[in-house]
Amino acid sequence: MSYALLYSVILKLDDNYGEDETHEEMERVIEELREILYIMANKQLEDGRRLNFLVCDLVDVIEHALHLCKQCETYYWESIHSWIGEIKKRMLKLGDDESNMTSSENVDDNYVVGLEEDVEMLLRTRIIGGEYYLKTVLIKGMAGIGKTTLAREIYNHPTIVKRFERRAWVSNSTHLTLKELLIKLIQQVEDPQNLHTSSLLENMDNPSLRDMLSQHLQGKRYLIVLDDMPKQMHLASLVHALPKESLDYGSRLLLTSHTMHIGVDIDDENVHQMKPLDSKKSWKLFLKTMNHGNKLTGEHKFPMNLQPMAKQMLRKCGGLPLAIKEVGKQLVEKKLSRVSEWEQLLESVDFGSTLKLLEPFYHKLDPKIDSCFLSMAFFKENTTLRKEKLEQIWSAGVVEDDYLCESYLRGLINESVIDVTEKSTKYRMNVVLHMLSIQKAEEKLGFEILRNNGNNRPSESPRHHRVVICSRDKFNYSTDQDKHLVSLFFHGGGYLDTSPSYWKSFEQLKILDLEDFGLKMLPETICTLKELRYLGLRNNYIKELPDSLGCLENLEVLDIAQNFMVEVPDIIWEIRSLCHLYMSDVICRKPFKIDALRNLKTLTYVSVNNWTYELSRLETLYGLHKLGIEILGENSDAGALFASLAKLIFFKHLILRGCRFRSMPCLDEIRILNSLKTLKLDGLLARLPTNLPEFLESLTLGNSCLDEDPMPLLGKLKRLEYLKLRNAYTGQQMVILDNGFPSLKDLCIEELWNLRNVQVGVKGVRFLKKLEIHDCPNLDTLPEAIMSFIFLKVIKMVTTKSIAAKIRNSDLISNIMIVNINP
């Protein structure tokens, strides 16, 4: 019967197959459905309960596809195709173990630490406070970080129990279908006096179940929590069925997930990103775990003198509640009594059980970003990574489609693999998840970690990626399998005792990274790395680059920034393949011939005194999109530079640095850079340019020390979204005019030591979302206009104790979601 039902609706879909804008998407759907029919016919699936549920979901999603065809809508096709693909996978597994395994998030939530602020903020601004209509809120983060725990605290909160007439909670299981989800919801929200039996509900189709659910919720204020639903599940049909017209009720749909759900619209302001616990909260949770149920009493109580050692061990947990609890349980189960036993165990805590619990999270990640996830093993744990470095390393030897690197980066962020730091172009991975990336990279990517203590076991198969961890000991190495290596990363102490012949064995090496290594010299034999595409030498002690560097004819990225006064040879301009060149404080034998590098896209930093160019030849750098340049003084000819850059159609980002104690030159001609999107000016300015590029989206002023208030002039930039002022203004009052900054979303002011007052005119910065104020000790209040900023969600402030207390106790910040004001 299931086969016949599915066959009939496929024919119906086939009849509507036409040559319109949905042609390609529908063709993919029909092809998937035919494969499912083939599976059902050839695998001889029994017409059981599980198969019926899957077929009901398929019929439902096909009906929705037919509706989209009639409405000429294409937005939800990706969601439809994704759910059909998931159903096909489940059909192939029918007959396997169908035990309802819950997600790793639901592990022993009997004790909670550090969620009080999250609960209060979510209740105040997103669950109880805010709009009086159906709103969808997402609690997002990696597995084990406490999403379910936080949602449970909210669901059972006395205020919530009292406020919402109907509440329902459904957690994901291995085989949950959309039909089962609807049944579970109905059973929780229907009137106790009119309960439907499970068998009756199971005999209904999905549209009928949705109608019944809607009827039960009509005219009621309800809270529905969907915990860790599969991201492929077609939740759009459920969301559409929920009552929305009751403007006086304020119902809520609360989701927990590591990612956004396809087809479910959630505003960014309604996404709550979970953060790891800090050191104090981690320790508190650890002690709660150790003492749970009075397991540690008497002679087994945790030794006080070992607390520093235990806190050091906890750093390896990265503030992840799942890891902290697992480690705590591991110690409790040992029932240790002697101090020596505690010391031995704390030094060798096993994270194996934690990594096993994170396995489902890894398997749920989009396969497209798998290689990028595995490549995170290359970097040091808990390190901050730059956007451009990640993308360039992936492009050099990790992924095949290098033009998709930016989308892969977004995928890692969206799937909670990496977190965005305070600086939006830098990222960090949780240390426990980093352990998992190492484990999986060793299994799947041909990755290994070698230490220079000589205790490494030889690899049984060729290795393609390697991390070498060095210390002050002699570096013992073998070249048996070096010819297969694609990437080589050095971590550790900077002592690299290798013979020149060492580098000759890397025939296929494309990535060599020695950033932060403390390297003092780069060998001449570096020229043997003919396939090298990425060379990372940032933040070392290198005094001179060898002339042989010019032989690296395939090199695309050379990063020698933060090597103080490194001498750059003339031969570097022979590397025609260079796309990205990062420098700072360099010495050159002759003026740079940068215009010889026709493929150059990024160049930071270069001094105008070291750069020889002809304006006509500079135009040949047609791909240049980012330039960082040091302008020595007010007599420098900035106008000629701007005239040259204005002819480059891809040029978007400019950084100008001045010399300490000397004013930068007049920058009025900068207005001709019409394509400029981001601008950073770091150095003394006598005044701002009279006209800045009108399409600027991001502007940073550092150490400008302006006497005149810059806000009236900057407020005229209609597309400016980000503004940072650091030691940029010496006055006491700052004025934002009426309708000033019509697009500004993020404002950061730092080190404005004399600032006492900020005035905001009518509709000034009306779309501001985030405000940061650091080290402005005389600014003792916020502008009253802040209460009318309906989009403002985040305020962060570092000030004196008295000012912090004053602002915290004021009514100005009562409606702000995230308030972080610290002395």
Segment 379-417, tens digit of pLDDT: 999 999 999 999 999 999 999 888 899 999 999 999 999
Segment 150-176, tens digit of pLDDT: 999 999 999 999 999 999 999 998 789
Return the higher-pLDDT residue of 263 and 239. Answer: 239
Q: Give residue 337's pLDDT.
A: 58
Strands 426-428, 419-420: parallel, antiparallel or unpaired by DSSP? antiparallel
Q: Is there a contact between 595 and 621 (Cβ–Cβ < 8 Å)? A: yes
User: Residue 601: which pLDDT band, with cuts at 50, 70 and 90?
Assistant: very high
Segment 768-797, tens digit of pLDDT: 999 999 999 999 989 988 888 888 989 999
Mean pLDDT of 521-544: 93
Segment 321-362, tens digit of pLDDT: 999 999 888 887 776 556 666 677 777 788 999 999 999 999
Mean pLDDT of 105-111: 52
User: Residue 670: which pLDDT band, with cuts at 50, 70 and 90?
Assistant: very high
Residue 192 has pLDDT above 80, yes or no: no
Q: Which single residue is written with the structure tokens 């022979």?
A: 574
pTM over 0.85: yes
Segment 26-61, tens digit of pLDDT: 778 888 888 888 888 776 666 678 888 998 999 888
Q: Which of 117-121, 179-183, 591-595, 783-787 is predicted with the least confidence, judged by mean pLDDT?
A: 591-595
Mean pLDDT of 264-281: 91
Tokens at 272, concatenated: 């709550």
Q: Give residue 457's pLDDT.
A: 61
Nearest to 704 by CA among 747, 751, 741: 751
Q: Give residue 611's pLDDT.
A: 66
Longest Cα separation, the chain: 90
Nearest to 253 by CA among 270, 276, 274, 233: 270
Residue 296 has pLDDT above 60, yes or no: no
Mean pLDDT of 598-615: 77
In the chain, what percentage of residues exceed pLDDT 70?
88
491-526: string of b/e by CB count within 10 Å (b at 16+)?
bbebbbeeeeebbebbebbbbbbbbbbbbeebbebb
Q: Give residue 149's pLDDT.
A: 95
Rounded to 10°, the helix 321-334/279-291 angle is: 40
Residue 511 has pLDDT above 60, yes or no: yes
Tell me the range of 214-223, 479-488, 601-610 where mean pLDDT is highest: 214-223
Return the higher-pLDDT residue of 581 and 41. Answer: 581
Residue 186 has pLDDT above 90, yes or no: yes
Tell me the range of 71-75, 628-632, 775-779 where mean pLDDT is highest: 775-779
CA distances from 448 to 444, 452, 462, 491 (A): 11, 13, 10, 13
Q: Is there a contact between 155 and 116 (Cβ–Cβ < 8 Å)? A: no
Q: Which of 460-464, 509-513, 564-568, 799-803 is predicted with the least confidence, judged by mean pLDDT?
A: 460-464
Average pLDDT, the chain: 86
Q: Give residue 391's pLDDT.
A: 96
Segment 437-474, tens digit of pLDDT: 999 999 999 999 988 765 666 566 778 999 998 876 66
CA distances from 591 to 437, 560, 587, 606, 612 (A): 45, 18, 10, 11, 6
What span, in angstroms and rounded, lies between the C-alpha atoms of 361 and 435? 14
Phi, then psi, of 122 in degrees rounded to 5: -65, -45
In the chain, what percentage of residues exceed pLDDT 90?
52
Residue 632 has pLDDT above 70, yes or no: no
User: Residue 178: which pLDDT band, with cuts at 50, 70 and 90?
Assistant: very high
Q: Is 293 left (phi over 0), alpha (psi -120 to 50) or beta?
A: left
Q: How far is CA 608 from the centre of its chain?
A: 36
Give the contacts of 117 (CB within 8 A, at least 6 positions apart): none
Return the higher-pLDDT residue of 102 and 759. Answer: 759
Q: Give residue 521's pLDDT.
A: 87
Q: Which single residue is written with the structure tokens 């977190």?
A: 419
Rounded to 10°, the helix 49-71/23-42 angle is: 160
Q: Which of 231-235, 417-421, 654-658, 736-740 is predicted with the least confidence, judged by mean pLDDT?
A: 231-235
Q: Which long-range contacts (CB under 8 A, 24 or more apart) does 523-527 make?
A: 523/498, 524/500, 524/548, 525/500, 525/501, 526/552, 527/551, 527/552
Return the higher-pLDDT residue of 13 and 380. Answer: 380
Tokens at 535, concatenated: 């060379």
Q: Is there a contact between 206 and 237 (Cβ–Cβ < 8 Å)? A: yes
Mean pLDDT of 641-669: 89
Give the contacts of 732 (CB within 8 A, at least 6 positions apart): 754, 755, 756, 757, 778
Return the higher-pLDDT residue of 322 and 112. Answer: 322
Residue 603 bridge partners (DSSP): 581, 627
Q: Is there a contact between 807 and 782 (Cβ–Cβ < 8 Å)? A: yes
Residue 226 bridge partners (DSSP): 170, 255
Q: Is there a contact between 98 and 134 (Cβ–Cβ < 8 Å)? A: no
580-608: string of b/e by CB count within 10 Å (b at 16+)?
bbbbbebebeeebbbbbbeebbbbbbbbb
Segment 675-690, tens digit of pLDDT: 999 999 999 999 999 8
User: Residue 99: which pLDDT band, with cuts at 50, 70 and 90?
Assistant: very low
Give the contacts of 561 (CB within 8 A, at least 6 positions apart): 538, 539, 582, 583, 584, 604, 605
Residue 298 has pLDDT above 60, yes or no: no
Q: If DSSP codes are grouped into helix, strand and coil, which group holds residue 690? A: coil
Segment 495-504, tens digit of pLDDT: 676 777 788 8
CA 588, 602, 516, 503 torsion-angle sign: negative
Q: Give residue 16's pLDDT.
A: 67
Return the higher-pLDDT residue of 312 and 411. Answer: 411
Q: Give residue 389's pLDDT.
A: 97
Q: Give residue 494's pLDDT.
A: 64
What span, in angstroms and rounded, lies between the C-alpha atoms of 105 and 146? 7
Alpha helix ranges (H) inside 722-794? none
